[in-house]
Chain A
Amino acid sequence: MSKYIIRRLLILIPTLLAVIFIVYFIMDLTPGDPGTLILGEQATQEEIDAKNEELGYNDPFLVRYVSYVGDLLHGDMGESWQSGRSVMGEILSRLPVTVTLAVGAILLGTVVGILVGILSAVKQYSFLDFSATAIAMALASFPGFWIGMMLILLFSLYLGWLPSFGAGSFKHYILPWVTTACPFMASQLRMTRTSMLEVIRMDYIRTARAKGQTESKIILRHALRNALLPVVTILGINFGALLGGTVTIETVFTLPGVGTLIIEAIRSKDVPVVTGATVMLASFVAVLMLVVDVLYAYIDPRIKSRYMKK
């Protein structure tokens, strides 16, 4: 298993190189040049050309790509074309907000989602099952940023209980957490319920019942473990989506996170910031996917044996 993990970590390097290539390439297609961006509209064409030359913007695409990767290996992500500050610094100053938002939302969503999902499956067609499924369905259907707007209207504007913007204290995060967790909680609940329902009907559950196992042990030991595979997939996919997807929620609650940084950078074609931030998030997601795959093996021994053979 450790051999497998090491191999996957090594594969991460070409993956990230490819990611940088894709992002760099896409950003290269967008109109605009750094000289104009840094010096502003008033600068003369000569000044702009000189600045572009200085930044190596006129070099062929591949040359720029290679030199960017070279700098990256030395831990240098370059400077923002917009603010002139180091990209690394910009990202690191914004990262805590996004991570706080994502981790809090994941915890909330997973715990509530799985718990209610199990209950729903065990008590299928009960009132609890019906209302939980209905609420989950609605939460998954309405856009997160819109739910956020409605929560702001209700809790900040009318009730005045919670702040509607900024990232100062715990209180500031309550609405963003709930908002971000909504669709996530819903998909986790649905997946847990569906997958539990499938497993509960299996023969080995009947066998466990027949031999007189207690119901809670049947659910937790026999059913849940077999039902977890799709649940873990959803967890991985969602967490990955969440890291980049907090961008709309950050916009609604004006949180100074990586998401808003990237969206500002994309708008102004600040290539170093976009590339740097995306590479950072992409590395997170890549490691996460590895964790998900390793978890697969732990949950399902059949998959583990597949890895072992090779």
Chain B
Amino acid sequence: MNDKTGKIKIKKKSQAGDIWRRFLKNKTAVLGLVIFSIIMLTAIFADLIIPYDKGITQNILERLQGPSAAHWFGTDNFGRDIFTRVVHGSRNSLLVGIGAVAIGITVGGLLGSVAGFYGGKIDSVIGRIMDTIMSIPLMLLVLSLVTALGNSLINVLLAMMIANIPQYVRIVRAAILSVVGQDYIEAARACGTSDFAIIVKHVIPNAVGPIIVQATMAVGTMILNAAGISFLGMGIQPPTPEWGSMLNEGKQFMTMYPYIVVFPGIAIGLTALALNLMGDGLRDALDPKLKD
């Protein structure tokens, strides 16, 4: 990845290369990566694939048509092209998913590693605050936050980030705890290594695997949650295309026109599936001891 010369870099490069090679050997993980890349590219180049108008303009004459050559995924109750709406909807879902996790894991990870490593008072203070937030059921917290902040993409993202920090703290703390109890940490302490060096050299490399894996999959979970919020009619509002709100709108027509709810659901599921496959592959690639 990094071609800057220098002896120290060489070792790093080969390690990343090792992980990458192990990742590529895993067929399902590569499949996940391919699916996810396609979805990412779809989101980025949505306007080139199909114009946004077709998914927004209402056309009553063409309402509730089944899948055909003209409308690959059919049309909804307003005669809008479902394929267009699915393609353009990817933008909102991905943005919310990736954004919420990126910010959440930074904040949560920091708190979690401090809590896990030091234990004692710091641990209980952080734990207490997180327990408080966590004892409010996630969906309710997000829903009330969205109601308070207003229905918009940024607010859904913010609400989900706030509501999810405790989960990251817990995950990171658990990962760190499982490492801190190990003998080699004890040994490093006995050698007089500083806390900082122990955290950076011994704790993080040994605890990072599960955290990266969880983060990859958390993006999928976030996308699912965001879809759930829109499904309840609380998130991003129509006519803006969003997978969850498409399911919400289509709900009342699903008994007669099942295709309305089939395609957006598959889009959500495929995205989350791709992320899960990647997460799994990463886990195996990062942890060679699991591979014989």
A302 adjacent to chain B (CB < 8 Å): yes
Of B18-26, B55-63, B143-151, the one touching chain A: B143-151
Residues of the A chain whose Cβ atoms lie less than 8 Å from the Cβ of B137: 240-241, 243-245, 278, 281-282, 285
Residues of the B chain whose Cβ atoms lie less than 8 Å from the Cβ of A152: 254
The majority secondary structure among interface residues of chain B is helix
A297 adjacent to chain B (CB < 8 Å): no
Query: Can you name the residue of chain A whose Cβ is closest to the Cβ of B217?
Result: A140
Of B3-11, B71-79, B128-136, the one touching chain A: B128-136
Residues of the A chain whose Cβ atoms lie less than 8 Å from the Cβ of B289: 201
Q: Once the chains bind, are A278 and B269 in contact (CB under 8 Å)?
A: no
Q: B104 → chain A, closest Cβ, in Å?
A: 15
Q: B246 → chain A, closest Cβ, in Å?
A: 11
Q: Once the chains bind, are A244 and B140 in contact (CB under 8 Å)?
A: yes
Q: Once the chains bind, are B135 and A15 in contact (CB under 8 Å)?
A: yes
Contact with A along B129-173 (1 / 0, CB 8 A): 001111111111101110111000000000000000001001000
What are 20 sample pairs from A and B whose C-beta atoms fall under 8 A apart?
Answer: A138-B269, A141-B220, A142-B268, A143-B265, A144-B224, A146-B261, A149-B247, A201-B290, A230-B174, A233-B174, A240-B138, A243-B137, A245-B138, A248-B228, A251-B231, A266-B143, A278-B137, A285-B134, A286-B131, A306-B119
Residues of the B chain whose Cβ atoms lie less than 8 Å from the Cβ of A141: 220, 224, 269-270, 272-273, 275-276
Q: Once the chains bind, are A30 and B247 in contact (CB under 8 Å)?
A: no
B251 adjacent to chain A (CB < 8 Å): yes
Q: Once the chains bind, are B140 and A278 in contact (CB under 8 Å)?
A: yes
Which of B137, B167, B280 gathers the greatest number of chain A CB atoms within 10 Å? B137
Q: Once the chains bind, are A153 and B258 in contact (CB under 8 Å)?
A: yes
Q: Once the chains bind, are B268 and A146 in contact (CB under 8 Å)?
A: yes
Q: Once the chains bind, are B135 and A143 in contact (CB under 8 Å)?
A: no
B102 adjacent to chain A (CB < 8 Å): no
How far, in whole Å, are A153 and B290 apart by their CA atoms in the complex?
41
Q: Once the chains bind, are B119 and A247 in contact (CB under 8 Å)?
A: no
A119 adjacent to chain B (CB < 8 Å): no
A145 adjacent to chain B (CB < 8 Å): yes
Q: Once the chains bind, are B273 and A138 in contact (CB under 8 Å)?
A: yes
Q: Which residues of A, 191-240, contact B by the 8 Å Cβ criterion? A: 194, 197-198, 201, 229-230, 233, 237, 240
Given contacts A26-B144, A30-B148, A153-B254, contact A278 B268 (CB under 8 A): no
Binding site for A on B (CB under 8 A): 119, 128, 131-141, 143-145, 147-149, 167, 170, 174, 178, 181, 220, 224, 227-228, 231-234, 244, 247, 251, 254-255, 258, 261-262, 265, 268-270, 272-273, 275-277, 280, 283, 289-290
Q: Once the chains bind, are A289 and B131 in contact (CB under 8 Å)?
A: yes
- Given A22-B132, A26-B148, A282-B135: 18 more A-B contacts, CB < 8 Å: A19-B136, A30-B144, A137-B277, A138-B269, A141-B220, A142-B265, A143-B227, A143-B231, A149-B265, A237-B170, A240-B134, A240-B138, A244-B139, A244-B141, A247-B140, A263-B143, A274-B144, A289-B135
Residues of the A chain whose Cβ atoms lie less than 8 Å from the Cβ of B231: 143, 145, 248, 251
Which of B144, B149, B276 gathers the greatest number of chain A CB atoms within 10 Å? B144
Residues of the B chain whose Cβ atoms lie less than 8 Å from the Cβ of A11: 128
Q: Once the chains bind, are A29 and B276 in contact (CB under 8 Å)?
A: no
Residues of the A chain whose Cβ atoms lie less than 8 Å from the Cβ of B258: 153
Residues of the A chain whose Cβ atoms lie less than 8 Å from the Cβ of B232: 247-248, 251, 263
Pick the contact of B272: A140, A157, A241, A259 (CB < 8 A).
Answer: A140
Q: Which residues of A, 122-162, contact B by the 8 Å Cβ criterion? A: 137-138, 140-146, 149-150, 152-153, 157
Q: Once the chains bind, are A142 and B269 in contact (CB under 8 Å)?
A: yes
Contact with B along A264-286 (1 / 0, CB 8 A): 00110100001000100111011
Given contacts A157-B255, A248-B228, A263-B232, contact A198 B138 (CB under 8 A): no
